[in-house]
Amino acid sequence: MPQHIKNATIIEAAGNKPKLIEEFIGHVNSQTGQVSIARMESPAGWVEPAQIPDFDEYTIVLEGTLHIKCAGREYVVHKDEAFIANKGESVQYFTPDGAKYIAVCLPAFSPDTVHRVEE
C-alpha cells in the first residue's frame, strides 16, 4: 500500500551532545522494518559510542564533514561524498566541525540491533 509521509519523527540520539535525527522512514515513523532513512544534523564536537550493528548503513554527507572509525581505520567523509559501513563491523561516527547527512540502514535501524559498545 502506498504511503505519503508528510513529517519526520525526532529520534533520540546517542552521544556526548544533542544531535538531531529526523526519521522519515523506519520503525518509528512509518512502521517500516526493511529500511530506515533519516536526516541527521550533528553539532561540532559530537561523538557517539562505537557500535557493532546488525544492519548495513549507507551515509551521504550534505554539509560539513563526517569522521568515521570503522574496521580499524579512520575515514573523513566530506560534502557530496558517501560511506558504507557493513553490518557486524565496529563503527563510530563523530563530527569535530559539525555535519548534516542522510543515513539509510538496511534493515531498518533499531535500538535492539545497533549494539553500542560501552568504553
- DSSP tag of 107: S
6 occurs within a structural domain: no
Q: What is the mean pLDDT of the chain?
A: 96
Helices (H) and strands (E) in the chain, counts: 1, 9
pLDDT surpassing 90 at residue 1 = no
9 occurs within a structural domain: no
Q: What is the pLDDT of residues 40-65, one digit of tens each?
A: 999 999 999 999 999 999 999 999 99
77 occurs within a structural domain: yes
Q: Indicate the SS3 state at residue 112.
A: helix
- DSSP tag of 119: -
**Domain carrying residue 25:** 21-114
52 occurs within a structural domain: yes
Q: What is the pLDDT of residues 85-115, one digit of tens each?
A: 999 999 999 999 999 999 999 999 999 999 9
How many structural domains comprise the chain? Answer: 1
CATH of the domain at 110: 2.60.120.10
pLDDT surpassing 80 at residue 119 = no
